[in-house]
Amino acid sequence: MNGPAPAGTHRALILSGSIGKGHDVVAEACADALASVGWDSDIVDCMALLGGGFNEVATGIMKGLMAVPGAYDALHFGHLRTGSRLGRGLDRAAAGKLVGPLRRMLAERPADLLVSVFATGGAVVDRLKREQPRLRSVVYCTDACPHRLWVHAGTDLFIVTSDMSAGFIRYHRPGAEVAVVPPAVRTEFHRAPGRDEARHSLGLPTEGTCVLLMAGAWGMAPLDRLAGPLADAGHHVLVVAGNNERLHQRLVRHARPGVVPFGFTTRIPELMAAADLVITTAGDTCTEARTVGRPMLLLDTVPGHGRENLQLELARGGAAATSGDPRLVAAAATALLAGGGGASSPTAVPEGPEGPEGWARRFVGALAPLGLNAGGADAPTP
């Protein structure tokens, strides 16, 4: 939190959640967009605000559920997507712990707009709006199929990245105000180096095929078992474990020629530029790969919302899909790089999304129905 905002300055409070990296990236993009029209913003990590080690416990539970086949699918499709009694109970419990701290923040630094890029944030704002009806609230969700816990009666505007997502918002709340904007992409991906320059920087030969292997900040795939067969197939392999330190240690411990392991790194734009193919799970990485101009092979290893996101990314183009079986991944990558992927081969990569300035105009324009005088061009509403 910063000091008091200057008199007359519009201010937004952006509610994020440090589960993975995606929420933080979206929150920062929203803050930058609002700053471009003179707004002041604070970003609050809801998970950290819960305190008492809640973040570590919640993250551990989620990872545990995802590690058990069918467990997270059951929670997502049976409870979160439908908004069952269990799902709503979990939502209320987390939101109840956040209302007090956020109420005090707003008393110290009043805000004109509350932006939730984290599902629990939307539930908290719904409660706060009952006390402060003047507040305007926005939920920004990048999931292919927003589940029920994203959608609350007090939200003034929902911002999503596809018509599919808009349909699921209205599945839960018919008549909701929804705007569709392109996915946000960090500036550094628009400025990625050329292929040869990136390979020279990484100490890789310019000849031969190279794949970038990753699976989000959590490393939600058996990357250590996938890297070897890819190298055996003759590809240079850049593999990123993200924040998964155990995975990174396994990659380093079993290092082999042709495989270059990374832990958490800020060099993803450079790594993508060096690669001929990006092998990853569905998520923000897909838009980043398209911006750099790289085709993708998507791993079907993230359950629940990950399966929905994979389907949307396939529909967007420039991608094929595979399981997490090492032999199939190596075979699929080799076929794609040889141009033998058949009808599903991502040989034509769609043009990358507009630059950060264009995205900021679209995001700010989407806020027009709220009457906040934010300026900007109108965003399309389905």
Token pair belonging to 230: 């890819």
pLDDT in tens, 85-109: 999 998 888 888 889 999 999 999 9
Give 20's pLDDT tier (boundaries 50, 70, 90): low
Indicate whether 7 pLDDT > 60: no
Is 47 in contact with 54 (CB distance < 8 Å)?
yes
Token pair belonging to 180: 């569709």
**Closest to 149 in 3D by CA, of 46, 51, 3:** 46
**For the CA atoms of 245, 273, 162, 156, what is the dihedral angle to 10 degrees?**
60
In sequence order, which residues have a C-beta less than 8 Å from that of residue 90 and are 6 or more positions away? 79, 149
Half-sphere exposure of 292 (CA within 13 A, CB side): 29
Give 54's pLDDT tier (boundaries 50, 70, 90): low
Indicate whether 344 pLDDT > 80: no
The H or E element containing residue 162 is: none
**Closest to 296 in 3D by CA, of 208, 309, 140, 228:** 309
pLDDT in tens, 143-196: 999 999 999 999 999 999 999 999 999 999 999 999 999 999 999 999 999 999
**Closest to 27 in 3D by CA, of 139, 132, 107:** 139
Is 185 in contact with 290 (CB distance < 8 Å)?
no
Token pair belonging to 136: 């305007």
Which parts of 109-244 fold into alpha helices (H)? Answer: 119-131, 163-172, 187-190, 195-202, 223-232
Token pair belonging to 16: 């994020």
The H or E element containing residue 267 is: none
Burial class (CB in 10 A: 0-12, 13-18, 19+), 4: exposed
What the chain holds in terms of domains, given with CATH numbers, is 11-185+354-370 (3.40.50.2000), 188-344 (3.40.50.2000)
**The pTM of the whole model exceeds 0.85:** yes
In the prediction, which pLDDT does 3 show? 45
In sequence order, which residues have a C-beta less than 8 Å from that of residue 193 and are 6 or more positions away? 201, 269, 270, 273
How much helix, strand and coil, in percent to the nearest 5, is found in the chain? Answer: 45, 15, 40
Average pLDDT, integer, range 329-346: 74
Is 291 in contact with 352 (CB distance < 8 Å)?
yes
Name the residue with higher pLDDT: 68 or 84.
84
Name the DSSP class of 76: I
Token pair belonging to 29: 């993009």
> Is 260 in a helix, a strand, or coil?
strand
